[in-house]
Structure 1
Amino acid sequence: MLNNSHLEKWDYGSTGFRLNYALNANKSFNKSTSDISSLYGNFDLNANYGEWVFNTKVSALSNEGIESPDLTLSKAIKSVHGDFIIGKSITQSAIISDFSFYGASLRSNASMQPWLNRGYAPVINGVLNSNALVTIKQGEYILYSKNLPAGPYSITDLAPVSNGDLTVNVEENNGNKSSTTYPVTTLPTLLRTGDFNYNFATGIRSNSINNDGIFGLASLDYGFNFGTANIATIIHPKYQSIGSGLSIPINNLGAISASINMALSHYDQSIDGDQTGVSATLKYAKDFGENTNLQLLSYRYTGKGYTDFSDFNAKNIVDINENKSSRYEIQLNQNLGSSYLNMSGWRQDYRNGGNDIGVNLSLSGTVKGVSIGFNNSYSKTRDKNYEYNSSLNVNIPFNLFEKNQVLNSSVNYNSNSGTSFNNGTSLIMNDNLSTTANLNVAKNQNTASIYTSVKFNNVQTNFSVSQSNNSTTIATSASGTVAGTKKTGLVFSNEQQNTIAIAHIKDMKGIRFNNSSKTNDNGNTIIPLSSYQKNNIAIDTNNIPEDIELLNTNYSITPTNKAIIVRDYNYIKVSRYLLRILSKNGEPIPMGTEITTDKDLTVGVVANNGVVLISLFGKNNNLKLKINKDVFNIDLKNINPGIEKVKNIKLK
């Protein structure tokens, strides 16, 4: 069953483009080694024409090259509640590992359904001893890279991710480096009775060797009364697989899902012939009352001879003794009064013995306004390499410049680099300017740093400087959005958004819509919208000049994803006069007397004490009023419009 958005007419928007960008640069001046520089850029571009959207995402790191996971031409199709996509994209299936491919697909879009499923991404938390570059990868694609100030951090704005481990790399300006793995496994969403998700795709894998053939993929998830059933298959000249799954709500016991995949792999050269294998997954989720949430408990078994299509290479049979055999994961959240406990762990077993292990534990809370956090992580590889991190941080709020500010202190231990102490303060000067100063003391190195963030109407910028025993590091970054249409020209914003409206009020600068940035010299500003949902775009009338009469103040819009909506807010010039009209003998004229034009159009009615507000459209200096049978003329020729002060007029 669809939500109310199916009753609304979708707006595909105007022809134009939208570019989200994030840029940063680092330069380290070292005393004992050569200087180090790095540049990073992330770009998300869509160009719209009619009901079609061309979209590409590109990330580039100076020492790692350029990556682009998406290069697509797509159209939202209301009748099938899905998107038709051509180009380079990533498959989506609940029970088959996702992979990148070149081709075409038709797949359902969850945001068109009554429940929103915009994609899953975990929250990444940690503590930095100094200003640092934090980079998050999934596979070889960089999801996030940004310079962050010293102290505790929480990354909540990751793009939606697919199944697979996230690697968080931290390069601190004091020289310390660390890498943490976050396992990501999404529990398939239970569908209501009659609801369904589908994905049909065909093309060539982007990592295939010598274009080893065209594949076909089909998957379907359907909601029955008892739960949700999944089925998926891949057909390829040298690889075939089929899988099925079932997700069932079990009343007060939570929800459980199970799936099994069988794959047949054909290799060009193999003394063992074709390889057949089975993979099975079991997942469980449960809320234990209001305070405890078992987010995920999962187990995956990988049988001998099984290979995911994403890893399949017909020219190189996988060494079955090195295959991963089983994997366990658990995530648990617990509320402890005013505190919050989060625990997660995973273990990967290998067929020839050995395993990888990772554990994360965090405890946070607030005591009389003071925030306290305790974080621990431990990881060990089957090669017996291990790393342990532990930190205790305290944030103390105070008031300065009529703003809430924060003092932070922390002690951190790393099994490789030892213990360090960190102290800093974050100051918010105003809504557009903030700065963080920090001092870190470690066994072999001390670091002082300052980080400043400045938000302009068109761009968000950051600048930082760090000084340690052996080096000085300077970093800067900029991010925002630029959009353009034939009607509006180029428009800039300091925020990044996917679906947007450009509000246009001709030649009127400094006006806001829905708390947006102020309009530019041409009267344009960018407003973020929610796709496939009803959006109301209302003008803020606080800064409208008194000589302006708005002809429209609000629009209701249901945009498609990545649409660029342009809306005009029209107005006319009005001359307003605040007058006190007195009779020949100096007495206020009677309340209720109408002021009219020479064509008997009423333009004002006298209130108490002879005061009247008159609004005139265009030039009309000759007005009149009638008292009993006497008609009097009012000449405004020598009176300037304005309502700041009452002006007296005496009838003749």
Structure 2
Amino acid sequence: MLGSLALSGTAISAEGEWFNPAALSSLEGTQAVADLSAFNDGTQPPGKYRTDIYVNGDYIETSNVTFVSRDNTLVPEFTTGYWMSLGLKPEASAELTAMPADSVITDPASYISGITTSFDYNITRLDISIPQAVLRFRARDFVDPALRDNGIPAAMVNYNLNYNNNWRNEADSDYSNLFLRLDSGLNLGGWRLRNNSSFTRNTGQQPYYDENGRRIVREKTVNDWRSMNTYAFHDIAPWDARLTLGDSSTPGDLFDSIQYRGIQLTSDDSMLPDSLRGFAPVVRGIARSNATVTVRQNGTVIYTTSVAPGPFEIRDIYPTASSGTLDITVKEANGSQTNFVQPFSAVPGMQREGRLRFSLTGGKYRAWSDSVREPGFLQGTLQYGILDGTTVYGGAIAAQDYKSAMLGAGQGLGRFGSLSLDVTHANTQLDGGPARSGQSVRAQYNKDILQSGTSFVLAGYRYSTSGYYDFTEAAQRLPQGTTFDEDDPFDYWRRTHNKRNRLQAQVSQQLGDYGSLSFTAYQQDYWGESGSERTMSLGYSFEFSNLYFNISLNDSRYPQFEADRSVYASVSIPLSNWLSNSRATYSAYHDNEGRSRHQVGLSGQALEDRSLNWNVQEGWANKGEGNSGSAYASWNAPLANLNASYSYDGNGRQASAGMSGSVIAHPYGVTLAQSLGNTAALVRAPEAGGVSVLNQTGVKTDWRGYTATPYITPYRRNNVSIDTMSLPDNVDIEQTSQVVIPTYGALVLADFKPTVGARVLATLRHNGKPVPFGAMATLMSGQSDEVVSNSIVGSEGEVYLSGVKGTSRVKVSWGKESGQQCEAPVTLKKQDEGARLRMAELNCR
């Protein structure tokens, strides 16, 4: 009987194998089988599917794609505009380029030879293969700007509220402090409006004597509300730049950064793919055939690609170090190899060949003090990689009483590192004094010795004449309502103590299994002042079996002050074998004035998602400071971040409590969440409350099914995923991950479609018999014709349904004839309430 069943189940023909669905019927022949013709020959039914799209193996996006049947396979329906957006060269097909952008085609290979599509129905993945010869150059990890999401309209406020109370040992010196910071924002289209404000309330005891000589202590309260910054910004995508209006700061790569109120247009490297950010050399060579090019650094493959015969260029190598040597191998089609090396090096600010960075700022200088003048100014800078390893740069600042110009260049020296040199000339008109002019010369050197793990950076600044002032110095030396007075020492110091020589060095050395050494040094002296500022630091760190050790020596000197020298050491020991997710620490400090401090501590994380952080410390110090101690805890709760602390020392005690978070108003309502970063995602899963977001500590949806992921990366693909282990028993989510590509400052929507309702294993019967195997069962909302979920009927009429509610009904179809369709209301047993999976028998009519 088994043999006859096998023979009846498969018919062999010249066209291949065909599966007989009748083989699935019961041996008694009592159960029918649905029409499965759509699945014959390995095909699937045409329709619209949510699909992951890949081009030449690189993920592009996830979207709803309509598929049609062509030669017994499913092929996508894409517009010509979409095909061109994948990077096709316009000259690759004149016919395709001439077609309207909304024209739908299903056979792109008829226009451009070599294009193929392959749809994996089981994982809903569409692979598109396009010959490299017809594709425009695109850097690795390129994200089409057309896919960037400006997000949804939203108003949001980040708040940070902290209160602390201090009880001092000294009489009548207790005080308290309340601090509130508000970072507010409004998003509308591509525009972002931001404001940073703060409120401080200080309350303290103030003793005084009345007219009778009696000592009276009264409480004094001082309130201070201030708006620190207000600004708006918008991306200028074609230029990889951002326009900012209001309060901001200038870039600090050429001139020192200054605060201003005005307008700025500046390049933003974060809009570039990671493979084009920072400096990396262009690799050039010649292939004699279709070849594979492999690039290695320190024996590690960092790039591989296929090239056509002839000259080739590789421009999208990820920056792995500021200098080193690349080993390039060209493997020809016949197996022969050509090898060559390419040393490179770059100082900070060097650009790749052909890369132009710019900034243009106009506005009014924002001073830190009311006594300093706030002149209007215009500043512009340019940096351009004219050749591989050569960058030229320059800039200028113009104000009423100040003008300066800079010109410089950076050059890679191959194995010998890299060097940059620039000169700045400035003219300054001091109020009440003569015009000053001077020059500043700056040199920078950089060298990484990867074989030995040494990184050496040296930067020297020399102000060649006493008449040189940078813009900030000039503004601070021109206070409102004052005149130059040589007899006023303070005024004289402000006008004459400008910078003269500055030297800065940084060296680090990796010691392999024995840790690492680092050394930094800084020295600055001034015109008209003997002595100099000087800081030096030597550090050593070591890790062994998750044990961390660190020691540092520090030396600081300032004009007219005594030198400060100190040594600091610490060790951190894991205690996970005894106390989960915890560490013990010890630190010691000693300085040249004989002060010593010792501190021991215990810290760790608690709760299942490690959202609770805690720390306790106990210390001792000499010189009358005595014992000290502290305890601190913070909880990353779903709706806010909460913290509390208590500490004491030789001067008194302090207790504090605080909370921070965000309030977001959006088209779907108002959501409370943890504090947001510059760019965030609103997670929407209606009615799915208490669901966790993967890789986001403490982030869970509220009772409505909404929350926000605090940090995502702008201009990059970000996966926002639901933790399926946290789903309630009455919630299913078919697609648990969303890909979002936000612009800077956006609040993008990660919109999930949860199926909320009971999970039911139902047995479907029609005319007293099980519904045929393979029938399609569609669960419908009882209040509308909205499709809730789809399932396929099993061999005995069983079907799994999710999202069942009291008014749900199921439509069943196993063919195109009227007698091959039926419908049944879903009635649940009262006694099954609370069960993870409920059972039901449904009579389909």
Q: Which amino acid aligns with 1:365?
A: F
- The aligned residue for residue 233 of structure 1 is 396
Q: Tell me the CA shift for residue 453 of structure 1.
A: 2.2
TM-score (norm 2): 0.61
Residue 362 (structure 1) shift = 1.8
Match of 1:502 among 661, 682, 705: 682
Q: Partner of 2:516 in structure 1?
A: 340
Work out whether residues 347 and 355 of structure 1, in 8 Å CA contact, stay in contact via their aligned partners in 2.
yes
SS in structure 1 of the partner of residue 572 of structure 2: strand
Which residue in 2 is equivalent to 1:191?
A: 351
Higher strand share: 1
Which of residues 456, 460, 472 is equivalent to 1:299? Answer: 460
Higher percent of residues as helix = 2
Over the matched positions of the two proteins, sequence identity in percent amounts to 20
Matched residue SS, 1:403: coil
- 2:363 aligned with 1:203, yes or no? yes
Contact 2:347-2:418 within 8 A present in 1 as well:
no
CA 360–116 in structure 1, closer or farther in 2 if over 3 Å, else same: farther
Q: C-alpha distance in 1, partners of 2:765/2:188?
A: 62
The equivalent residue for 2:793 is: 605
Q: Is the 8 A contact 2:154 2:667 kept in 1?
A: yes
Q: Aligned to 1:451, which of 632, 639, 663?
A: 632
Whether the 8 Å CA contact 2:758–2:837 is kept in 1: the answer is no
Q: 1:183 maps to what in 2?
A: none
Indicate how the Cα distance of structure 1 residues 337 and 59 shifts in structure 2: closer, same or farther if over 3 A, else same: farther
* TM-fit CA distance, 1:573: 5.1
**Residue 311 in structure 1 maps to residue 445 in structure 2:** no
After superposition, where does 1:14-163 map in structure 2 within 5 Å? Answer: 14-33=152-171, 34-58=173-197, 70-115=229-274
Aligned to 1:13: 151
CA 1:647–1:219 in 2, change beyond 3 Å: closer, same or farther? closer
Q: 1:593 Cα shift?
A: 7.3
* Matched AA of 1:190: M
- Equivalent position of 2:22 in the other structure: none
Candidates 511, 520, 523, aligned match of 2:705:
523
Instruction: Return the offset for 1:581.
Output: 8.8
- Cα distance in 1 between the residues matched to 2:431 and 2:504: 35
Does residue 619 of structure 1 match 2:619?
no
Question: How big is the shift at 1:41?
Answer: 4.3
> Is the CA contact (8 Å cut-off) linking 2:185 and 2:192 kept in structure 1?
yes
Letter in structure 2 aligned against 1:511:
V
Instruction: Name the CA shift for 1:453/1:196 in 2 (closer, same or farther; >3 Å).
Output: same
SS in structure 1 of the partner of residue 430 of structure 2: coil
1:53 partner amino acid:
R
Partner of 2:505: 330
Which structure exhibits the higher relative contact order, with contacts defined as CA atoms closer than 8 Å and separated by 6 or more residues? 1
CA distance in 2, matches of 1:323, 1:602: 76
Match for 2:760 among 539, 564, 577? 577
For residue 547 of structure 1, report the CA deviation from its aligned partner.
5.1
User: Hey, what's the Cα distance between the residues in 1 that align with 2:232 and 2:812?
Assistant: 62
Please state if 1:252 is matched with 2:415.
yes
Q: Taking structure 1 as reference, are residues 415 and 571 closer, same or farther at Cα in structure 2, changes over 3 Å only? A: same
Which residue in 2 is equivalent to 1:539?
722
Residue type of the partner of 2:720? Answer: I
The structural deviation recorded for 1:51 is 2.0
2:660 aligned residue (474, 479, 491): 479
Quote the residue 2:101 is aligned against.
none
Whole-Å Cα distance in 1 between the matches of residues 822 and 365 of structure 2?
86
Quote the offset at 1:518 in angstroms.
0.8
Q: Is 1:349 the equivalent of 2:525?
A: yes
1:280 matched to 2:455? The reply is no
Comparing 303-312 with 542-551, greater Cα deviation is found at 542-551
Using the alignment, how far apart are the partners of 2:248 and 2:616 within structure 1? Answer: 42
Aligned CA distance change for structure 1 residues 116 and 48 (closer, same or farther; 3 Å): farther
CA deviation profile, 1:226-263 (whole Å, cap 9, x unmatched): 42111111122211111112122221222222211101
User: Is residue 412 from structure 1 mapped to residue 575 from structure 2 by the alignment?
Assistant: no
Deviation at 1:62, TM superposition (A): 6.1
CA contact 1:46–1:562 (8 Å) conserved in 2: no
1:351 Cα shift?
2.8
> How far off its partner does 1:373 sit?
1.5
Gaps of 5+ in 1: 120-185
**Partner Cα separation in structure 1 for residue 426 and residue 820 of structure 2:** 100
After superposition, the Cα gap between the structure-2 partners of 1:39 and 1:534, relative to the gap in structure 1 and judged at 3 Å, is same
- Letter of the aligned partner of 2:614 in structure 1? T
* CA apart distance, 1:53: 1.0
Aligned to 2:546: 369
Larger Rg: 2
CA distance in 1, matches of 2:742, 2:269: 15
Q: CA RMSD in A?
A: 4.0
Match of 1:12, as an amino acid? N
Q: Is the 8 A contact 2:679 2:713 kept in 1?
A: yes
CA distance in 2, matches of 1:631, 1:566: 39
More deviation in 36-45 or 301-310?
A: 36-45
Match 1:433 to one of 605, 612, 619: 612
Post-superposition Cα deviations, 1:440-476, rounded to whole Å, max 9, x if no partner, equal: 1222211232222223212222222123344122123
Provide, for residues 613-632 of structure 1, a one-character-per-residue CA deviation record: whole Å limited to 9, x for no partner. 34387634898999xx9999
**What secondary structure is seen at the aligned counterpart in 1 of 2:576?**
strand
Which one-letter code corresponds to 1:224 in the other structure? Answer: I
The equivalent residue for 1:133 is none
Q: Which amino acid aligns with 2:156?
A: R
Conserved? CA contact 1:91–1:201, under 8 Å: yes
* Contact in 1 for aligned 2:730/2:757 (Cα 8 Å): yes
CA shift in 2, pair 1:581/1:537, >3 Å: closer
Give the drift of 1:116.
8.7
Moved more, 459-468 or 311-320: 311-320
Alpha-carbon distance, 1:519 to partner: 0.5
Q: Decide whether aligned partners of structure 1 residues 539 and 638 sit closer, same or farther in structure 2, where only a CA change above 3 A counts.
A: closer
Question: Is 1:389 matched up with 2:566?
Answer: yes
Q: Which moved more, 1:615-624 or 1:561-570?
A: 615-624
Give me the whole-angstrom Cα distance separating, in 1, the residues matched to 2:166 and 2:778: 74
Would the aligned equivalents of 2:740 and 2:750 in 1 still touch at CA under 8 Å?
Answer: no
Counterpart-to-counterpart distance in 1, 2:747 and 2:820: 59
- Cα drift, residue 371 of structure 1: 1.9
Aligned to 1:423: 600
Please report how far the alpha carbon of residue 222 of structure 1 lies from its aligned counterpart in structure 2 after TM superposition: 0.9
Note if contact 2:406-2:425 (Cα within 8 Å) is conserved in structure 1: yes
Contact map agreement 1:98 1:310 (CA 8 A) in 2: no
Deviates more, 1:520-529 or 1:572-581: 572-581
Q: Deviation digits for residues 62-116 of structure 1, max 9, x if unmatched? A: 6796776632121111122211111121112532222111211211112112349
Write the letter of the residue equivalent to 1:279: S
More moved, 251-260 vs 541-550: 541-550
2:692 aligned partner: 512
Structure 2 residue matching 1:79: 3-state secondary structure: helix
Greater shift in the superposed pair: 255-264 or 431-440: 431-440
Which secondary structure does the structure 2 equivalent of 1:5 belong to? coil
1:267 aligned partner: 430
C-alpha spacing 1:483/1:635, structure 2 compared with 1 (3 Å): closer
CA contact (8 A) 1:507 1:523 kept: yes
TM-score of the superposition, structure 1-length normalised? 0.77
The question of whether the paired residues in 2 share the 8 Å contact of 1:501 and 1:529 is answered with yes
1:224 to 365, 386, 396: 386
